[in-house]
Amino acid sequence: MHESTRDSIARLLAPALGLPESEVTELVELPRERGRGDYALPCFPLARRLRKPPQAIAAELAESLAPAVAADPLVARLEASGPYLNIHLDPATFARRVLARVAQAGERFGESERGAGQRVVIDFSSPNIAKRFHIGHLRSTVIGAALVRIHRALGYEVIGVNHLGDWGTQFGHLISAWELWGEPERLEGEDPIGYLQQLYVRHNKAAKEDPSYADRARAAFRRLEEGDPEARALWSRMREISLAEFDRIYRLLGVEFDEIAGESFYEDKMAHALALCEQRGIARESEGALIIDFAEHGVEGLQPMLLRRSDGATLYATRDLAAGIYRFETYDPAKIIYVIGAPQRLHLQQLFAALGLLGFPAERCHHVAFGHVLGMSTREGTAILLDEVLGRAIELAEQRIREGDVRVPEDRIEETARAVGVGAVVFADLRHRPIKDIAFDWDRLVRFEGETGPYLQYTHARLRAILDRVAEEHGERPGETEADPGRLVTDEERAVLMHLEQYPRAIERAARELEPSVVSAHLLDLAAAFSTFYHKHHVKNAPPELRRARLELVEAVRRVLAHGLGLLGIEALERM
């Protein structure tokens, strides 16, 4: 495997610094200002270790490494600029090396084995059964799925878990409502989940007005916990109906799970969790309930965690604790990532603290908190269904296609509109940091220009069209004809090459920071750099040797866009 440019620079600098190459690689960065070289080594971090001012370190390196630079084909010159060592590359060698790396890795350029031998558990999506899949579930689902793909690309063994909300007192309300008002034929109709949700809302409203309904709900859930056959059969039917509906939406989004282990999966594991808390002395009785009082164990700033009510009922906190214990004991993961909304921050802080008090490595637990989807409620204040959002996006995409924004054959309009509409919704989420609230701008969402998913899909299709036109007119395809990428020395070509070179690090950073938006931003920057290049330079009509070199560049950009879109869960369209 060809080494990265940073690795090559580190190999040159490390002997003079007396540091391991891996450490120097992490110090090498892109310059903060244009015209300051292709890479830079900030010498501030070295000052204390080498006991010299950073300016002196930069100057000494530039002078002492002059002979090595003269013999190095990649580094053209070193230049001390205050506390920075600016590194200027030989354009031809840089181009050859970048495109050789992409060609060697093929469709998997950007991937690595950095996480090999380590497991990562990612808890995401987690809708409640017997409730419709609304727009609020979008963020956890697409952010979590992207993090699964990003970690797999780095060699981690990933267990993607759908922690369904399929247990708890809400099912007491549902069972009681069914027993009072249930109409079996409605479960065979067009919208069984909608009907179940109506029953729940009706019973919950009644319970607020008449305490006897709340008593019925508690009694019904107790029967469910105790294994009452009728209650269990009804609960299983609700779960089955819900999973069938969820699966339809997951297929549309291209999302898969390794485990669908809802709260009910941990029902028989709660006793172990509670026993462990008592054995370790971190839980105690309080007015008949079982709690963890964090202040008593030196954890400040957290309210007590309720594990069991005075009537013996468990809570979702109990099940989450049982799930955390199970995951550590079963998988010994390097990370457990919870993709859950920001309002759950306190709950997860309590969960992580409790796991730490039990002796588990809580520092491996991470909360990817996400904000709200704004402007997505009905007039009645209820959340819009995700189905409706995806359907509208697909309709808008088809409208744009038929209006001539892009040319698509009639027999492929429907499937193209589906890919564009779904991709538009997914990218509109993933181009933002998870913690930010997002708002869908329907006018911009499915545009084929600007910072949108359709723009990236269009760019990929455009790249494929360029390759096909050259093949048709000149009989040349990347990798099949001899080409010298060393001819790619213009500023615009250099910018594209630099973005290609940085792609593997973008994936690593996305995994490290748990931010799929890092990949989204990199793809937009790469597409913009290519667009600038293509507006200034010919490919098909370039002189033969330059044309072949540029073909390799076009194919490298296409591969990276396809790979990056795949990480985000967006289809890279071949024709448009």
C-beta neighbour count of 549 within 10 angstroms: 23
Instruction: Indicate whether 380 pLDDT > 50.
Output: no
The answer on pLDDT for 244 being more than 50 is yes
Report strand pairing: 284-286 vs 335-341: unpaired
Please list the alpha-helical segments (H only) found in 77-135: 91-105
Which residue in the list 52, 88, 131, 436 is annotated as catalytic? 131
Residue 383, pLDDT score: 66
pLDDT at 382: 59
Mean pLDDT value across residues 428-448: 91
Q: Residue 557, Cβ neighbours under 10 Å: how many? A: 25
- 237 pLDDT more than 60: yes
Per the annotation, the verdict on 537 as an active-site residue is: no
Q: Quick one: angle between helices 192-209 and 229-253, nearest 10?
A: 130
Q: What is the pLDDT of residues 168-192, one digit of tens each?
A: 888 999 999 999 999 999 999 888 9
pLDDT value, residue 69? 95
Checking if the pLDDT of 376 tops 80, the result is no
Helical H segments across 300-404, by residue range: 316-331, 345-357, 386-402
Out of 2, 52, 137, 335, the active site residue is 137
Confidence of residue 393 (pLDDT cuts 50, 70, 90): very high
CATH code that applies to domain 5-89: 3.30.1360.70
Give the pLDDT band (50/70/90) at residue 90: very high
Neighbours of 286 (CB within 10 A): 13
Contact 468, 462 (CB under 8 A): no
- CATH code of 424-568, in short, is 1.10.730.10
Is position 131 annotated as part of the catalytic site? Answer: yes
Q: Are 572 and 562 in contact (CB under 8 A)?
A: yes
Q: Confidence band (pLDDT; 50, 70, 90) for 549?
A: very high
What pLDDT is stored for residue 379 in this prediction? 42
Q: Pick the catalytic residue from 2, 52, 88, 134.
A: 134
Q: Are strands 39-42 and 84-89 parallel, antiparallel or unpaired?
A: antiparallel
Q: Average of pLDDT values for 399-426?
A: 92
Residue 193 has pLDDT above 80, yes or no: yes
Please tell me the predicted confidence (pLDDT) of residue 378: 45
* Ranges 8-12, 118-122, 284-288, 311-315: which has the least confidence: 311-315
Q: What is the mean pLDDT of the chain?
A: 94
pLDDT tens-place string over residues 293-331:
999 999 999 999 999 988 887 888 999 999 999 999 999
Q: Is the pLDDT score of 377 beyond 70? A: no
Percentage above 70 pLDDT, the chain: 98
The C-alpha atoms of residue 112 and residue 33 are separated, in whole angstroms, by 30
252, exposed or middle or buried, with CB in 10 Å at 0-12, 13-18, 19+?
middle
- Domain ranges in the chain are 5-89, 170-253, 424-568
Token pair, residue 322, equals: 């049982």
| pLDDT tens-digit series, residues 16-48 | 999 999 999 999 999 988 778 999 999 999 999
Residues 399, 447: Cα–Cα separation, whole Å:
11
Nearest Cα to 85, choosing from 8, 29, 4? 29
Percentage of the chain surpassing pLDDT 90? Answer: 85
Distance CA 533, CA 458 (A): 16
Mean pLDDT of 5-18: 95
